[in-house]
Structure 1
Amino acid sequence: MPHIVGEVMTREVVEARRETSAGNVAQLLYRNRISGLPVVDGDDKVVGVISETDLIRSQSARADQGRARRLRIPPLRRSARRGAALARATTAEDLMSTPAITVHPEQRVADAARMMERHGVERLPVVDEEDRLIGIATRRDLLRVFLRTDEEVSREILDGVVSRTMGLPPHTVFVSVRDGMVTLEGHLERRSDIPLLLRLAYRVDGVVGVINSLTFRVDDARPSDKPSASGNDPA
């Protein structure tokens, strides 16, 4: 059964408020040995996320502003505006990245991991149906589920997906897995079975991607060119 975010998330969350000072944010990160935290409003709704990178960029922007003033370097429009904003950052609201990428506890761990990869983030705030913060899912939390060998993933796809769920005969599909990347090869009877098999394989915990090398005998996905039963041309 697929794991869900609520099973692996950390419920004790280190958080900041909009008005939390930049110095206190840095202390929270250092004291708790974490690399980022969510920012919440008065209703505990997540409004942004701050990472160590945001703090570093702010410090760098201040240094660049000071250097530009000393050397009288003319500013570039867009980068200068962003740099000036970071240089003036004094609160969590000034520093945070928005909008925050969040997940719900009932979402699958595999989907959350792929979301992290897609957005290039290390943690995902977990929110309830009213978008209130209830936990945090870090890359480390999600990796606990993905500590599966390629052989285990291959076996689950063959036994659980190909044989039991799809009911395909043995040796119809050949599965190879390398670092979570699955390759499916074989010859199916119907073309319509291929997208279903790909979706089911993709949903197996530990799978990070699926390569389709399947072929088919009957193209049942093509619309029929036969005339209608009445013999009349379609309207």
Structure 2
Amino acid sequence: MRTLKVQDVMTRDVITVHEATPFKEVASTLVNHRVSGMPVTTPIGMVVGVVSESDLLPNESRSEHGRLYDVTHRTEARKAEARTARQLMTAPAVTVTPDTPVRQAAAILARRGINRLPVVDELGLLVGVVSRRDVLGMFLQSDEDILDEIQHEVFLRGMSVDPAQLDITVTDGVVTVRGQLELRSSIEIAEELVRGVVGVVDVVSQMTYAHDDQHLRVVDSVNGVQMRDLW
């Protein structure tokens, strides 16, 4: 089963600025390219931070708030004095790698409340950017395509289960699976695999099992910790 990765959806032609880029050039780059933020890199392309519109705003706010602003908003006050991208940027940058699953990237974007993630290779060099808009594309798979992958990749190929013995429906990305599997443990495995299919929004499991294999586990006789499964 294919897992959609960041390298499948990321933008490779990335607008960047260098650490020494002056304030006005940073601002004009954001405006001219109609982006709200961009990576800050070293001369060799290593990502050291991200600069966004919000990083530039304190520069304007300082003149309005004066000394009180310096005392109550020290981070903003420091950025208000900034003259280069390095002084403006938010660091360290939150990054992902090309082989990061898109679902994981989407979770990071949501948890951090940010709009984009620089994509770096094993050396920390910039290779692309993945945005919220990029990851939303994973939910545009049709219900028919989702159903086909679940039937053939999850159950037939992944679990050696004939999908014809199950009742699988997909409506607006929500998958409902009814039917019986041989082992209780297989239900959890199936649910996890179905959730990993590109385009799946949620899974409603109504599967039952013929045999309860939960007791077939080897447990350490000393501390009672499960060591491995028998199957």
> Would you say same fold, with TM above 0.5?
yes
* 1:23 partnered with 2:24: yes
Gaps of 5+ in 2: 223-231
CA RMSD of aligned residues (A): 3.2
Cα displacement string for residues 59-107 of structure 1 (whole angstroms, at most 9, x for unaligned residues): 46425523847xxxx954xxx2223223223322232222222222233
Cα displacement string for residues 209-233 of structure 1 (whole angstroms, at most 9, x for unaligned residues): 545554444332335699xxxxxxx
* 1:161 partnered with 2:154: yes
Gaps of 5+ in 1: 227-233
- Partners of 2:203 and 2:3 lie apart in 1 by 17
Residue 66 of structure 1 is matched in structure 2 by 66
TM-score normalised per structure 2 = 0.76
Alignment of 1:73-222 (within 5 A): 75-76=71-72, 80-169=73-162, 170-172=164-166, 174-178=168-172, 180-210=173-203, 212=205, 214-222=207-215
Q: What SS is found at the alignment partner of 1:188?
A: strand
- Partners of 1:137 and 1:44 lie apart in 2 by 17
Cα displacement string for residues 175-204 of structure 1 (whole angstroms, at most 9, x for unaligned residues): 4443x4545455433221123212222221
What is the aligned residue count? 219
Q: What SS is found at the alignment partner of 2:153?
A: helix
- Report percent identity of matched pairs: 38
- Partners of 2:218 and 2:102 lie apart in 1 by 44
- Partners of 1:116 and 1:35 lie apart in 2 by 15
The verdict on how the C-alpha distance between 1:90 and 1:65 changes in structure 2, with shifts beyond 3 A counting, is farther
Preserved contact between residue 61 and residue 86 of structure 1 (Cα < 8 Å)? no
- Partners of 2:32 and 2:94 lie apart in 1 by 24
The verdict on how the C-alpha distance between 1:216 and 1:126 changes in structure 2, with shifts beyond 3 A counting, is same
Preserved contact between residue 59 and residue 82 of structure 2 (Cα < 8 Å)? no
The one-letter code sitting in structure 2 at the alignment partner of 1:66 is: G
Residue 32 of structure 1 is matched in structure 2 by 33
Between 39-48 and 212-221, the greater mean CA deviation after superposition: 212-221
The one-letter code sitting in structure 2 at the alignment partner of 1:202 is: R
